Amino acid sequence: MEILVLGPVEIRHGMLATRITTPKLCALLACLLAHPNAAVSVDRLVDALWPVAPPRSAADNLRAYVAQLRRMMDDASRIAAATRGYALTVVPDEVDAARFERLLRMARTASPRERAAEAYGQALALWRGDAFGGVELGGVAREYAIRLDEERLAAVEEGFDAELAMGRHKTLVGRLRGLVEEHPMRERLWAQLMLALYHSGRQAEALSAYQDARTRLVEELGLEPGPELRALQRDILTASPALRLSSGSRVRLTPPSRARLAAALGFAATLLLVTVVPAATARQERSTARPPAAAVAPADELTIGALLPTTDTCIYGPAAIAGMRVAVQEINAAGGVLGRPVRLVGGGDVPEFDEAAVRDLLSQDVDVIVDACDEGPLEMLDQAVPAGILMISPSNTGRYFTTDDDRGLFFRLAGTDALEGRALARLVEQAGHRKVAVVYSYVDDGDIGAGLRAGLDRSRAKIARWFRVTSEVNFADIARDLSRLDPDAVVFIGNDDDVEGMIEELPAYGWSMRHKKWYFADTAVFDYYDALPRGALAKVKAISPHTHPPDWLRERMSQIDSSLDTDYYGAEAYDAVVLAALAAEAAHDDSGLLAAAQLTGVSREGRVCTTFVVCRDLLRRGADVDYNGVSGPIDFDDAGDVQEATFTVSRFDDANTVWFDRTFRIKAG
């Protein structure tokens, strides 16, 4: 018998084929195949067949559909009744989806490139259309079909990488043009098209392809291209030697698995791994269904690595590490994860975004990395994603992590820069300001500025003028023009050096930061002490994308590190550890791959719980949980971002030091 689902659904017995077109039969088969050789509960099957409003007779109807599917298989024993459910017995080679996955794993480990390209071709040749013939499915069945379709696209992209590396540029142009039209939001395909055109001697067309990609992204999503696509455009413009020395393609032939995972997991768990393969740019849903305990082998200890620098520009590392240690102590005091203690490694005195530190953590077989602020982790993804490591950031705010190809492995607890801009807009609006000036000192006003603009567009406050600090327009020029404009309030998007430069020039024009209301983005939130005249910032308020830890947590953090002079992101780092532990409990395994597939589920749409112990006990009783942490409700969306973020409002005193004022929350979207 063969079961074919990579296209219209068919069950074949030799030369005889039975095509299944009934949506509910397709949904039943998909749900059983999503967990082969394991029991699937009646509730989950009913949800897949009747996702909106199941009839009262759903259980009886389900038995009828099971009987019909048994007849099509010509072997009633294939679908066995199990405790409160059914189990489908198959061997991998009987299912085309399983053969596809096996060939894809071979392609990802194949060498030389010719063999890899051939293996990708063999894997993709199994497809005859959309998974399950594009039939509308529900519940687990829909998730399984989505995962298969996304894996197909990933294989297409990886296959192109292999062919580009072999120099087959001219033959790929036509196929890539068709695919970018079909999938215009997948930046990797655009990059491959640009490379194919460039290496075919068509540089102008390669740059035109970039502009086409940018237009699509801006018009449809309001986003600029990601850093990889922008870097490729720069390389093409400058005829970079990097493009001459190699194909420039992103060939990744290292398998996204780890030795102990491969040894521990059988065919059932291998299919579960598909949950984390789809690219972040096209993630439609993250699975919230927990695998049965029997589906995976016993776990070893959950190992969490801290990549939270304590030097360079990321000053929040010590507080975040202390928050992580408090969480690990509490979890281990409660019996650990899956009966074993959690191991915390890393967290030493490393410079920000140090790639050697990432390699060191990977060498210690970490399952989870709690990582740093700013955009340094983009480089980390290239090492951590192929290794199947779950990454949770307490402090990252850059928008590229929403769209980067993290394969569903990157999550963050801080609100994005765009949300921070909206938080600044709320402060301005609540204070009753009407005429606002914005001073910014970056290459552009960025996502903070975009969020500010969007927030104020909905209010009575209006931005009268944007001032950008450049080599031609300095602080003296801006101070002069501010005095002429005379706004009610000024929003400042810059760093501490910019603050000092601005304050130095303002008095010459009869202004100071005490003269009008000033609001700082988090990039300027520091204790300035004697670097500024006393009282220079006394009326300034600031926004930061984190919460204020509760008293008990601050006390525990101080006990761990008595030298702490800030508690920034301590609460978020604490929650990152608890979430990783709960996701491992839900997955019945400590691997980062399987935990990542459960992380969204334990953060939302279940029974609300606020501690690791209570949430863990609910999970062990079979309940769904919604962890509301010390940083507030988490609720990850399908891109790994929080759907509602907490922001801290701070104020400066006469000594130019920052003091906590209050917190509030803003919903994304």
Assign 608 a pLDDT band (cuts: 50, 70, 90). very high
Q: Positive or negative, the Cα torsion across 506, 512, 518, 522?
A: positive
Q: What is the pLDDT of residue 405?
A: 66
Please state, as a whole number, how many other Cβ atoms lie within 10 Å of the Cβ of residue 349: 9
Average pLDDT over residues 59-80: 86
Query: For 195-209, 211-225, 284-298, which range has the lowest pLDDT when averaged over its residues?
Result: 284-298
Average pLDDT over residues 15-33: 88
Encode burial over 195-234: b for 16+ CB neighbours within 10 A, e otherwise: bbbbbeebeebbbebbebbbebbeeeeebbbbebbeebbe
Please give the backbone phi and psi of residue 335, each rounded to the nearest 5 degrees, phi first: 105, 0
372 pLDDT exceeds 70?
A: no
In this structure, what token pair is assigned to residue 211?
């502009």
Helix (H, G, I), strand (E, B) or coil at 391: strand
Angle among Cα 237, 243, 244 to the nearest 5 degrees reads 115
209 pLDDT exceeds 50?
A: yes
Q: What is the pLDDT of residue 504?
A: 84
Percent of the chain with pLDDT over 70: 86
Q: What is the pLDDT of residue 631?
A: 92
Query: For 169-173, 312-316, 479-483, 603-607, which range has the lowest pLDDT when averaged over its residues?
Result: 312-316
Question: How far is the CA of 404 from the CAs of 80, 173, 286, 352, 378, in angstroms?
Answer: 42, 24, 16, 20, 8
* Cβ atoms of 567 and 543 closer than 8 Å: no
Assign 612 a pLDDT band (cuts: 50, 70, 90). very high
Query: For 97-111, 182-196, 274-288, 379-393, which range has the lowest pLDDT when averaged over its residues?
Result: 274-288
Average pLDDT over residues 88-100: 89
In this structure, what token pair is assigned to residue 222?
């309001």
Average pLDDT over residues 528-551: 88
Average pLDDT over residues 93-110: 89
Assign 309 a pLDDT band (cuts: 50, 70, 90). low
Average pLDDT over residues 30-38: 90
289 pLDDT exceeds 80?
A: no
Question: How far is the CA of 272 from the CAs of 88, 147, 401, 598, in angstroms?
Answer: 15, 10, 24, 11
Per the DSSP assignment, residues forming a β-bridge with 543 are 649
CA–CA distance, 593 with 385 (Å, rounded to integer): 9
329 pLDDT exceeds 50?
A: yes
When the pLDDT of each residue in the chain is averaged and rounded to a whole number, the result is 82
Q: What is the pLDDT of residue 353?
A: 55
* Cβ atoms of 401 and 228 closer than 8 Å: no
Q: Which of 285, 290, 203, 282 is nearest to 239 (CA)?
A: 203
Kindly report, residue by residue over 224-253, the tens digit of the pLDDT: 888 888 889 888 887 777 776 343 334 332
563 pLDDT exceeds 70?
A: yes
**For tokens 């992580």, what's the residue?**
324
270 pLDDT exceeds 60?
A: no
CA–CA distance, 540 with 514 (Å, rounded to integer): 7
